[in-house]
Amino acid sequence: MLCKECFRSNGHHPHCPEAEDAPEPTFTVWLVGRAVDDRVVGESAMRTAAKAWGFDPSIVIKHGEADIVNECGIVIGGCYSNDEEGLPYE
């Protein structure tokens, strides 16, 4: 088996997203004026936050960050991926 992420033939590098025991991705949801940002674990939790706050979860998955915009077009927050090794999707 050849890993598409790390190109190893007999296993994966630590924290490889292709490994069966890969850790759940984490995301941070932030809003202007809030002292503490919300950290969510897992893509499903991020998608739930997207429904509540009105940002596009597919943009977070593809580009690593999405803005939360109010009805006047002003950015009032956002959500970003906490992936330390860069985004797997381009």
Average pLDDT over residues 12-37: 75
- The residue ranges of every structural domain in the chain are 26-81
* pLDDT value at 80 more than 80: yes
Torsion of CA 85, 87, 49, 55, to 10 degrees: 140
Alpha helices in 1-90 (DSSP H): 43-53, 57-63
* pLDDT value at 71 more than 80: yes
- Amino acid in the structure at residue 22: A
In b/e form, how buried is each residue of 17-39, taking b as 16+ CB within 10 angstroms? Answer: eeeeeeeebebbbeeeeeeeeee
Report the pLDDT value the prediction gives residue 1, as an integer from 0 to 100: 53
Report the pLDDT value the prediction gives residue 66, as an integer from 0 to 100: 94
In tens, the pLDDT along 37-68 reads: 889 998 899 999 999 999 999 999 889 999 99
**Strand 26-31 to 75-81 pairing:** antiparallel
**Strand, coil or helix: what is 46?**
helix
Average pLDDT over residues 26-46: 90
